[in-house]
Structure 1
Amino acid sequence: MYRVWNFVTNYSILLILGALIALIWANTNPGSYHDFVEFVLIDDFIIGHPHADEHGHIHHTLTLHYLVNDVLMAFFFAIAAKEVWEAVILKNGSLRGKKAATPLIATAGGMFGPIAVYLGLAAILGSETYNAVANGWAIPTATDIAFSYLVGRMVFGAGHPAVRFLLLLAIADDAAGLIILAVFYPSGELAPEWLLLSVAAALGAFILFNWLPRKLDRGNQLRPRSTWVRNKLSFWPYLIAGCLSWYGFQEAGIHPALGLLPVVPALPHADRAFGIFSEAEQYLTDLLNHAEHLLKHPVEIILFFFGLLNAGVEFSAIGSPTWLVLAGLIVGKPLGVLLFGWIGAVLFRLGLPAGMRIIDLFVIGCVAAIGFTVSLFIASVAFDGTVMLEGASVQAAAKMGALFSFGAAAISIVAGKLCRVEKQAL
């Protein structure tokens, strides 16, 4: 349990603190808050918000908001991608083999369910509402892995098989979320040829600083070339490749916060992973895990500023988008996970882990309804501040729905009691 609390305090407490400060600031002095968020760091720069001048030439303005959301959050998504990559590629990866089949199907339900509820209710509210909020369909699909895992342990107990099932679902949900961001939420006009720069940077780093030294050291147990590269160059070649890849994403029109993803698989990694909340994970010394350890404290600070710059929503903005996001999460998630999990376990005869019941899928869905971090991020890219509904910003109202998703923790505890979940200790 210490490892879980340690993860939450490291990566989430500062995020919550930043969000609380933002809420107070935005509701007491909204003018100064929004001036702070859009504070211009450098005008006419190589990176930043693109805008055209009177001659049609594109210029970039680097604001504080862009620096945090589009540049620095790339390190947060790189850590998420690292967990997904290991879960998929390693021999004992949690998303490989038959053991992952039912959780993966349930993950699909945990995405389609919220989308159906969100868009379905929006359509019932009328065409004006539907047209205003439709682009935010992905907001309620997200699951905050840290808080969901913590609440899952509180509901089921650390030794319950449903906790591991929840973790598999959350990791798969993160993977799907990264794909959704890349495909459905471009940051500008698409220019896919720029992705060649990202691919070339990642491939070059992998060949020159990972594959080639290992090939030259084949048969030599001392591995002199690989050791020299690791000791002398460390992560720097991959950081340079990451900068090039990030720039390629920006110019390609794909959200640049995902710009480090192609480089993550290029880093040398251990032959096995113990899992994101395993105590043994901290003892892995491969370069991929070493880079994650180095990013730990910087990402804590980044998440504080992410909360500070994105959660500043005036309470007057609460409206239909708020309740649509919340309904998608707390209604669509549990029902989707239950239905698709039943299809996988019973209809496809893939089964559930020993000790799990079908009704546990519903409780897992309630826990997974805590969207928060990624939901907040998607809300910030799905809408710009100019889209209005009921006299308020759709983006602000949708963000409030993401913040309110913390209520799913209380719903999960009640659902656990009603469904007679028996806690199991390790």
Structure 2
Amino acid sequence: MYRVWNFLANYSLLLIIGALTALFWANTNPDSYHHFVHMVLWDNAPIGHLHDGHRTLTLHYLVNDLLMALFFAIAAKEVWEAVILENGSLRGKKAATPLFATAGGMLGPITVYLGLAMILGSDTYSAVANGWAIPTATDIAFSYLVGRIVFGAGHPAVRFLLLLAIADDAAGLIILAIFYPSGDLAPIWLLLSVGAALAVFLLANWLPRKMDRGNQDRPNSTWVREKLSFWPYLIASCFSWYGFMMSGLHPALGLLPIVPTIPHADRAFGIFSEAEQHLTDLLNMIEHALKHPVEIILFFFGLLNAGVEFSSMGDATWLVLFGLLIGKPIGIFIFGWIAAVPLRLGIPQGMRLIDLVVIGCVAAIGFTVSLFVASVAFDAGPVQDAAKMGALFSFAAAIISIVVGKITRVEKHEF
């Protein structure tokens, strides 16, 4: 349990402090808060919001569009290892039912969100429809922690939940890239990102290994690792991020093409695993080096994005909240049941079908990614603020999960 609390403290404690500070500030001095959020750092800058033919770098853009790219790179690293490594958690039949459940955990919230919006009328639907992806998110750290509280550390449902959350992250990255561009699309610029990824993979990864073939001392690979370290990948990341910005795709995803090019271990012990900190490959080394910077970045992300006035609660608040609290459990249960029973893919030994409902309640904690999607789905204003409030209120899923676990008589499994 120490490792989980340690990870939560590293990646989420400052985020919560930032969010609570933002809520207090926005509800006591909203003018001061919004002036801080949109503070101009550099006018006529080479990067930033494009307006009237020139770019302006604001504090909000610096955090959400540039620095959050490091957070999404860490998420992408976990997804990449889960998919590519031989013992990756998202490979083979063992991942089939969680992947089906993940699809339900996204389609369920979308259906509830858009269905209720249609019931509220065409005006409401038009105002909130673009936020359909907000309730699809699952906050890995908080969901994993609550899952261990509800099921116990050794219950197979906890691993099922973690597989679902990782797959949810992967799908969320794809949704952000496809459905939420940051501006007019100019796909030609993606050639810069692809070119940077190919160049750094060939020159700093593939070529040294090819030159060392048959030589156990691996002199070229060692020289690249010791002398160049992460610098080639940092330079490639800058080019890739710029390519995403100019292409119109959200720049926060700009490092995703670079992550697969970085040399990685031939095994993964899984997110939150104590053993993973002892891996010395470059990809894990970079992740460990980013731990404290990302911790600070998440504080500022919470500070700059969670500052909504309580009076801003509106239709979008309840649509996001109901999408998470109702759509997630129903979608995960239905699709998980389809995979386990009609398709005969089964569920892990020691799990019951009713546990899928509890897993769905735990996965309804959206928070971090839900806040991020809300910030890109809507322009700044009352609808965005209302949607963010729904993402913040999704913490209620933790209490609901514990209650539902008691009702369904979940038997805790400790190690």
2:51 counterpart of 1:48: no
Structure 1 unaligned segments of length 5 or more: list them: 53-57, 387-392
Deviation string 1:3-37 (CA, Å, 9 cap, x unpaired) is 10000000000000000000000000000000000
Structure 2 unaligned segments of length 5 or more: list them: none
Task: Provide the C-alpha distance between the structure 2 equivalents of 1:198 and 1:332, rounded to a whole number of angstroms.
Answer: 36
Task: Provide the C-alpha distance between the structure 2 equivalents of 1:255 and 1:179, rounded to a whole number of angstroms.
Answer: 11
Q: 2:42 corresponds to which letter in structure 1?
A: I
Task: Provide the C-alpha distance between the structure 1 equivalents of 2:64 and 2:188, rounded to a whole number of angstroms.
Answer: 24
Describe the SS at the equivalent of 1:289.
Answer: helix
Task: Pick one of 279, 286, 290 that aligns with 1:284.
Answer: 279
Counterpart of 2:132 in structure 1 is 137
Task: Pick one of 391, 398, 407 that aligns with 2:387.
Answer: 398
Counterpart of 1:420 in structure 2 is 409
Task: Provide the C-alpha distance between the structure 1 equivalents of 2:87 and 2:223, rounded to a whole number of angstroms.
Answer: 29
Structure 1 position 261, deviation (Å): 0.2
Structure 1 position 351, deviation (Å): 0.3
Task: Pick one of 282, 288, 313 that aligns with 2:308.
Answer: 313
Counterpart of 1:19 in structure 2 is 19
The 5 A counterparts of 1:186-201 are 186-201=181-196
Structure 1 position 319, deviation (Å): 1.0
Task: Provide the C-alpha distance between the structure 2 equivalents of 1:284 and 1:347, rounded to a whole number of angstroms.
Answer: 41
Counterpart of 2:2 in structure 1 is 2
The 5 A counterparts of 1:32-181 are 32-52=32-52, 58-181=53-176
The 5 A counterparts of 1:226-245 are 226-245=221-240
Overall identity of the aligned pairs, in %: 80
Describe the SS at the equivalent of 1:143.
Answer: coil
The 5 A counterparts of 1:372-411 are 372-386=367-381, 393-411=382-400
Deviation string 1:258-312 (CA, Å, 9 cap, x unpaired) is 0000000000000000001100000000000000000000000000000000000
RMSD over aligned Cα, in angstroms?
0.4
Q: 1:78 corresponds to which letter in structure 2?
A: A
Runs of 4+ that moved beyond 2 A: none
Structure 1 position 134, deviation (Å): 0.1
Task: Provide the C-alpha distance between the structure 1 equivalents of 2:399 and 2:245, rounded to a whole number of angstroms.
Answer: 40
Task: Provide the C-alpha distance between the structure 1 equivalents of 2:46 and 2:114, rounded to a whole number of angstroms.
Answer: 38
Task: Provide the C-alpha distance between the structure 2 equivalents of 1:239 and 1:334, rounded to a whole number of angstroms.
Answer: 40
Describe the SS at the equivalent of 1:257.
Answer: helix
Task: Provide the C-alpha distance between the structure 2 equivalents of 1:89 and 1:421, rounded to a whole number of angstroms.
Answer: 33
Task: Provide the C-alpha distance between the structure 2 equivalents of 1:385 and 1:402, rounded to a whole number of angstroms.
Answer: 16
Q: How many residues align?
A: 415
Describe the SS at the equivalent of 2:55.
Answer: strand
Counterpart of 1:367 in structure 2 is 362
The 5 A counterparts of 1:243-254 are 243-254=238-249
Counterpart of 1:28 in structure 2 is 28
Task: Provide the C-alpha distance between the structure 2 equivalents of 1:19 and 1:183, rounded to a whole number of angstroms.
Answer: 28
Task: Provide the C-alpha distance between the structure 2 equivalents of 1:240 and 1:383, rounded to a whole number of angstroms.
Answer: 32
Deviation string 1:112-161 (CA, Å, 9 cap, x unpaired) is 00000000000001111100000000000000000000000000000000
Counterpart of 1:256 in structure 2 is 251
Structure 1 position 48, deviation (Å): 0.2
Q: Normalising to structure 1: TM-score of the pair?
A: 0.97
Q: Normalising to structure 2: TM-score of the pair?
A: 1.00
Describe the SS at the equivalent of 1:202.
Answer: helix
